Structure 1
Amino acid sequence: MFVLTRNKFQKIMIKRGGIVLTQRLARSTVSSYDISEYQYLQVSKVPTLHFQASLPRLPIPKLEDTCKRYLNAQKPLLNEKELQNTSACISKFLANEGQSLQKQLIHINNENSHTSYISEPWFDMYLRDRKPLPINYNPFLVYSPESDPKYDTQLVKATNLVVSSLRFLKSLKNNILEPEVFHMKPEKSDTELFRNVTRLIPPRFSWYGAYLFKAFPLDMSQYKNLFNTTRIPGLEKDVIFHDSSAKHLVVLRRGHFYAFDVLDSNDFIRSPKEIAACLKAILEDDRPPNKHPVGVLTTSERDQWAQARSHLVETGNREILKKIDSAVFAMILDDEVIGTDHNKLLRTYLHADGTNRWFDKSFSLIVSKDGCSGINFEHSWGDGVAVLRYFQDVKADISKNPKFHPNEVNELTQESANIERLQFSIDAESENIINQQKAKYQDWINRLCIDYTIYEEFGKNQCKKLRVSPDAVMQLAFQLALYILENKVVPTYESCSTAAYKHGRTETIRPCTLETKKICIAMTRQQTELSKSDLKNMILDCSKAHNVLTKEAVMGQGFDRHLFVLKKISEKSGSTKPVIFQDPAYDALNHNILSTSTLSSPVVIAGGFGPVVADGYGIGYMIQDERLGTVVTSYEGNRNATKYVQTLEHAFKKIHDVLSK
């Protein structure tokens, strides 16, 4: 046995990008909270970013393929005359401006081999949009409850979420978080052999080694912005701020802000009891709700928030704002009791009343008074793959390996609670802006409809037995429900990750196809000569078409991002807008009435986002082994989420009835 100081211990832990695990440290000389078992969530044999250098680049589709796919997406939506016009516009584009724009894109891509062609314009698109973040952009996810209700009390749950999040952060920063890999055949690649072999391959070739195992490493460039990151409003364009040196957490309760260090001077995670003591002191602070909750300003239109923030800086709040911006993340402690009120749950995590939120943070963990917990995250810095990985890893840790236990609550001492209260200086102008925004936001959320359905009759397992894609079933149900209500199909967006490529973001799947339109018409006829066997074959055809679109999108062969970037290049050149973008059908296709996205996981009980257009539906959905779940949002006076959800239940039953025969 030997003795190590904290500094010496930390120095020897890093060796060739990995951790030297010290199994037997003298408990009398080294705190149990200093050892890697506590400090790290994972200790991967393969360094976190081992595959990053060799990831393939996002391909630029052939212009002819993009135009063909774009036309196919328009076919179910346009009448014959409109389709002829769109087809003519596409032909002109292919013969003229399209070729020049494609050459420019290829040149730009070749000059920036370190990234993808979509990365910069996609960041720019997010950061230039002036719409408020909540509902419009920030999605939410809610955790399933713990098996032991004692671990779902607010203090215990919040403490364990903080500790496990920090363990994830430490593993990420030290390059020992397990790399994100998609395993085609987990039984062959999610193995010790895979890890032992690939870690020995030099990083610039490592992707190819993984490929031999039919495993596909995913881009992890977004992960660093999970922590210590905030989107800061600016006039015309926001910026993403990141400060990896910050060691503190920001906590919001009743509209008040608090901060305390969760990492010590050596970057060691403070003990669970120290963190719990700080959270307990905040929960016991009996101040009434803040009369001037600055957080509500993050619900503003971005230019307005930029101006209000500038005034806050001018009136002596620069350091407080910096403290919030640089915090590891935001912990939200709500006084709300969710109970069994599902509508309250959805609204709490999607938007709340804005007074106890800071929507600009990369993510906020939210814990209600009765221990319900979840996440609301800002979307510009990254996509669902990174967030879901963090979300699932933390859930596994707090469930299987909680570091703070209910019986320790009574052992907490106030002496270890070293908390800083962040007190904004609010003048009459800021007070007026806050009051106006509270009223404006309340009016906005009052117009939002939100509802949900869980279909328990079948899920992923039965879909596979029936040889139909579960995602295709969900997307068909969304189309069928809309068709039943309105007797038409509409532009539809499904998000798909392109994280298999370096700095990939997302691509669009266009699930409204000729096949879905055909089956929707057939299933809504009062009388049909088609048998259930015929209808089933039509659903299978629909599933096959959807699978092709999904495969194309995953492989960077969709058309939406390609056309988006060509349009941006054209706009920068200042030349006449290409005819393909002058066509009303282009804007119509991008006015997505049905905007859909899924982050399916057994640990997620709800998730969603707002409509992306005023007259549309925002549809977050989950596909689990034995059930299908959907959260739908809309705005009053345009479309009705509750009516749509009721019709969606009917659509699920109709599809299930046909498939089961």
Structure 2
Amino acid sequence: MAEAHQAVAFQFTITPEGIDLQLSYQALNQIYLSGVRSWKKRVSRVRNSLIKGVYPASPSSWLFVAIGILATMYMQSDPSMGLITKIQQHLPLRYTTAMSVGQTMVSALVFSTLLWLSLILALRFCLKLLLSYHQWMFEKHGRISNTTKVWVPLVRLLSSRKPLLYSYQSSLPHLPVPAIQDTVSRYLESVRPLLTDLEFKRMTDLANEFESNLGNRLQRYLKLKALWATNYVSDWWEEYVYLRSRGPIMVNSNYYGMDFLYVTPTSVQAARAGNTITALLLYRRKVNREELKPVRLHTFLQIGKIMRWRNVNTCHDVLQHWLDSEFVAVYHRGRYFRLWVYRAGRLLSPREIEYQIQRILDDPSPALPGEEKLGALTAGDRIPWAQMRKQYFSSGVNKRSLDAIERAAFFVTLDDEEQGMRGDDPEGNLDSYAKSLLHGKCYDRWFDKSFSVVIYKNGKSGLNAEHSWADAPTVAHLWEYTLATDAFQLGYTEDGHCKGEVEPSLPQPQRLVWNIPAEAQVSSSLAVAQALADDVDCHVFPFREFGKGRIKKCRISPDAFIQISLQLAYYRDRSGFCLTYEASMTRLFREGRTETVRSCSNESCAFIKALESGETEEECRRLFQLASEKHQNLYRMAMTGAGIDRHLFCLYVVSKYLGVESPFLKEVLSEPWRLSTSQTPVQQMNLFDLKNHPDFISLGGGFGPVADDGYGVSYIIVGEDMVNFHVSSKYSCSQTVSNVSVSWSSETSHTVCSIQHATITQALSSMFLSAF
């Protein structure tokens, strides 16, 4: 009964002597501490809002302006040119000399404030103009123009104050709408190497007709939106590419991130969960306090990074964001738990979270009827999930349990499998590891959440991230911090447990209760998800022969080198070229997300044909240099708002709103990306000491193939001597194979290769030889 007594803050009884009031000081203290934490957060947000609102100035600069104005007035000078007197005339109570002096002071302070705000707006406008200058990106190393030489110190001067995470957001320029003739011209150039002369003439005719007729009408609407909206692409991209899709988001949209390649900090599952959860919550605290540094570009330009800690529910095709959730949702052996990670306003220690996780692992209770595979609803088609949600999860105990999952800070899966680079087939086990993170059992992840953290039985970890709320660089930033904090800051004891003490009175993790009717079957969603998962072929391998260190010695962009290598591998596999997608960021602009780099160019195709036809080394080097320069130029154009695909996508959306059809846009947006690629950037190398801890190498992450007959290739350039690749395709396509599968025909002496370990390795080696 003691626990029940402490569950209420007070109780009272009526006696002949009066009312006997009994207070629970422990409960009241918990309420007080929680309130203190809440108010501290509110004060911190107000403070951060003030600092961001006046950036690049500081709040204290108001005092200097006010003192300067008062000092000049004291010297019988009027810096306002009569404005202070005008302000004074509109103030009440001008009866006595003392009041008149006070009014003069108030008028001076009002003028100082207005002058201060005007200076802030002027500084912000100047900073926005400076950040709109992008020509420096196109200048060759060692050939900096005089304009850029002047621009660099001006940017440094206006951004000399230490910014908060979002300080630059109001100073970033808006994404410009490219001229329609430029976009059409660049599009035709991008598809030229993929089409025959007859096909190219047909596409050119369609493009010219669109540009001269419907295109200009659609462009006017798009420019109107660009004047009104902060970013003319992002909201439509989020809505129509991610939230309106009716197919499964598992594999098709969600992506994954992996643990260290060679190291597992502890083999104790609960301990790894304790440190990982703590590190993620510490990261959230930094985001809320805006203590993370904005992204630094080329060492001197700082750009505010769009970062949102959103708990995502796309069941209703909307993003929902709850602030300051104090618990996480945990799945283990078919059961769901709510785990409180704060107590009396205090974040539990890693050891306490480990203790609570161990309680869940030791809980022998079975899953409730229909509970075990409930997560499959988030893995299958969206319409059945929406219908099931409305019918069975809109009220009662099911709604309360669903709310607990959706309002949780994030989702944690305690997986009963072992994964990682282990056993007799370490490289083959990496493929299993990738598939597990991409889709798991199709019901043991909650794919609607912003991300699901997976902790395996042997202590290995990883995550599965939903795509609509953030792109891979944002999640990679979070995951880098988590891995580094787990391994190097929080650490473990000698026996593999988390550090810290345990408060013995911690309440048990709360088991979520469900009442799933027998007719509410999830089998159809599970069948769809299982078929999709079974069809995915994943292969992960580290390339160790050389890395960006040797590539940069050739004075070549490592990204251009790898992109052309992938095209060479595809050409050797399929004897042709394909539309190639590479993701680029547009964070130079406000609310920028991604743009497409069409990596397959006339120049890259010319080099590959020359290399494969046995041209001289000198000619191959010349063509390769042209191809790499072209790729870098395409990447820079995409980053600076001169891309192709987002502009055409928005024109297509406008055409749908107007109810008009465009054969050109319809054909462009239906073209398959048979080679979809993305680089996972390493953004916080300062967190990892690879010299003293060379084994703590990140594997990066990957995603599923975009086209049924294509490949998804993700890569991460680690240090100077390593590149990790993640390749995915579909078993149902007989022309694609992700795994290592090189077969020789002794009769024809012909090598049959697919875009996998051997082919990419051969392509990289061939490229390296041609580069030198």
Inter-partner Cα distance in structure 2 for 1:142 and 1:513: 32
Task: Flag the 1:350–1:407 CA change in 2: closer, same or farther, 3 A.
Answer: closer
Aligned to 1:477: 565
Q: Does 1:270 align with 2:364?
A: no
Aligned to 1:216: 302
Q: Deviations over 1:240-262 (max 9, x none)?
A: 11111432110111221111221
Inter-partner Cα distance in structure 2 for 1:408 and 1:491: 49
Inter-partner Cα distance in structure 1 for 2:506 and 2:344: 16
Q: Is the 8 A contact 1:146 1:399 kept in 2?
A: no
Greater CA drift, 437-446 or 301-310? 437-446
Inter-partner Cα distance in structure 2 for 1:461 and 1:594: 26
Within-5 A mapping of 1:324-403: 324-339=405-420, 340=422, 341-402=429-490
Q: Deviations over 1:94-131 (max 9, x none)?
A: 2221112111111111122xx20001111111100111
Inter-partner Cα distance in structure 2 for 1:598 and 1:291: 43
Inter-partner Cα distance in structure 2 for 1:522 and 1:150: 48
Q: Is the 8 A contact 1:233 1:302 kept in 2?
A: yes
Residue type at the aligned position of 2:738? A
Q: Is the 8 A contact 1:519 1:538 kept in 2?
A: yes
- Stretches of 4+ moved more than 6 A in 1? 7-10
Task: Count residues with an aligned counterpart.
Answer: 584
| Structure 2 counterpart of 1:53, from 164, 170, 189 | 170
Q: Deviations over 1:20-52 (max 9, x none)?
A: xxxxxxxxxxxxxxxxxxxxxxxx953222222
Within-5 A mapping of 1:87-126: 87-112=204-229, 115-125=230-240, 126=242
Return the structure number with greater relative CO, CA threshold 8 A, min gap 6. Answer: 1
Inter-partner Cα distance in structure 1 for 2:163 and 2:492: 29
Aligned to 1:614: 708
Aligned to 1:320: 401
Q: Does 1:630 align with 2:747?
A: no
TM-score, normalization by structure 2:
0.72
Inter-partner Cα distance in structure 1 for 2:416 and 2:504: 22
Q: Is the 8 A contact 2:335 2:366 kept in 1?
A: no
Residue type at the aligned position of 1:271? S
Inter-partner Cα distance in structure 2 for 1:168 and 1:314: 33
Task: Flag the 1:456–1:533 CA change in 2: closer, same or farther, 3 A.
Answer: farther
| Structure 1 counterpart of 2:544, from 450, 453, 456 | 456
1:291 Cα deviation from its structure 2 partner = 6.4
Runs of 5+ consecutive residues of structure 2 not aligned to the other structure:
1-31, 51-160, 423-428, 686-696, 740-753
Q: Deviations over 1:356-401 (max 9, x none)?
A: 1101100111111111111110001121222122112222222221
| Structure 2 counterpart of 1:17, from 44, 48, 52 | 48
Residue type at the aligned position of 2:284? L
Aligned to 2:764: 652
Q: Is the 8 A contact 2:430 2:541 kept in 1?
A: no
Aligned to 1:182: 296
Q: Does 1:568 align with 2:653?
A: yes
Inter-partner Cα distance in structure 2 for 1:610 and 1:287: 36
Q: Is the 8 A contact 1:622 1:629 kept in 2?
A: yes
Residue type at the aligned position of 2:303? P
TM-score, normalization by structure 1:
0.83
Q: Deviations over 1:395-435 (max 9, x none)?
A: 222222106644557965764243111122111122xx323
1:141 Cα deviation from its structure 2 partner = 0.8
SS in 1 for 2:320: strand
1:75 Cα deviation from its structure 2 partner = 0.6
Aligned to 1:304: 384
Inter-partner Cα distance in structure 2 for 1:408 and 1:597: 35
Runs of 5+ consecutive residues of structure 1 not aligned to the other structure:
20-43, 186-213
1:69 Cα deviation from its structure 2 partner = 0.9
Q: Does 1:428 align with 2:518?
A: yes
Aligned to 1:192: none
Q: Does 1:418 align with 2:418?
A: no
Inter-partner Cα distance in structure 2 for 1:8 and 1:517: 63
Inter-partner Cα distance in structure 2 for 1:475 and 1:483: 12
| Structure 2 counterpart of 1:641, from 738, 744, 751 | 738
Q: Deviations over 1:487-528 (max 9, x none)?
A: 110111111111221111100000011111112222223xx2
Residue type at the aligned position of 2:629? K
Inter-partner Cα distance in structure 2 for 1:56 and 1:391: 29
1:288 Cα deviation from its structure 2 partner = 5.2
SS in 1 for 2:164: coil
Inter-partner Cα distance in structure 2 for 1:333 and 1:448: 23
Task: Flag the 1:146–1:587 CA change in 2: closer, same or farther, 3 A.
Answer: closer
**Percent of counterpart pairs with the same letter?**
29
| Structure 1 counterpart of 2:556, from 451, 461, 468 | 468
SS in 1 for 2:313: strand
SS in 2 for 1:518: helix
Inter-partner Cα distance in structure 1 for 2:272 and 2:400: 30
Task: Flag the 1:146–1:263 CA change in 2: closer, same or farther, 3 A.
Answer: farther
Inter-partner Cα distance in structure 2 for 1:279 and 1:488: 52
Q: Is the 8 A contact 1:362 1:377 kept in 2?
A: yes
Task: Flag the 1:119–1:283 CA change in 2: closer, same or farther, 3 A.
Answer: same
Inter-partner Cα distance in structure 2 for 1:327 and 1:77: 48
Residue type at the aligned position of 1:595? S
Q: Is the 8 A contact 1:66 1:562 kept in 2?
A: yes
Residue type at the aligned position of 1:250? A
Within-5 A mapping of 1:136-155: 136-144=252-260, 151-155=266-270
Q: Is the 8 A contact 1:493 1:594 kept in 2?
A: yes
SS in 1 for 2:447: coil
Task: Flag the 1:18–1:313 CA change in 2: closer, same or farther, 3 A.
Answer: closer
Q: Is the 8 A contact 1:134 1:351 kept in 2?
A: yes
Larger radius of gyration between Structure 1 and Structure 2: 2
1:93 Cα deviation from its structure 2 partner = 1.9
SS in 2 for 1:429: coil
Inter-partner Cα distance in structure 1 for 2:195 and 2:561: 24
Q: Is the 8 A contact 1:141 1:604 kept in 2?
A: no
Inter-partner Cα distance in structure 2 for 1:257 and 1:347: 23
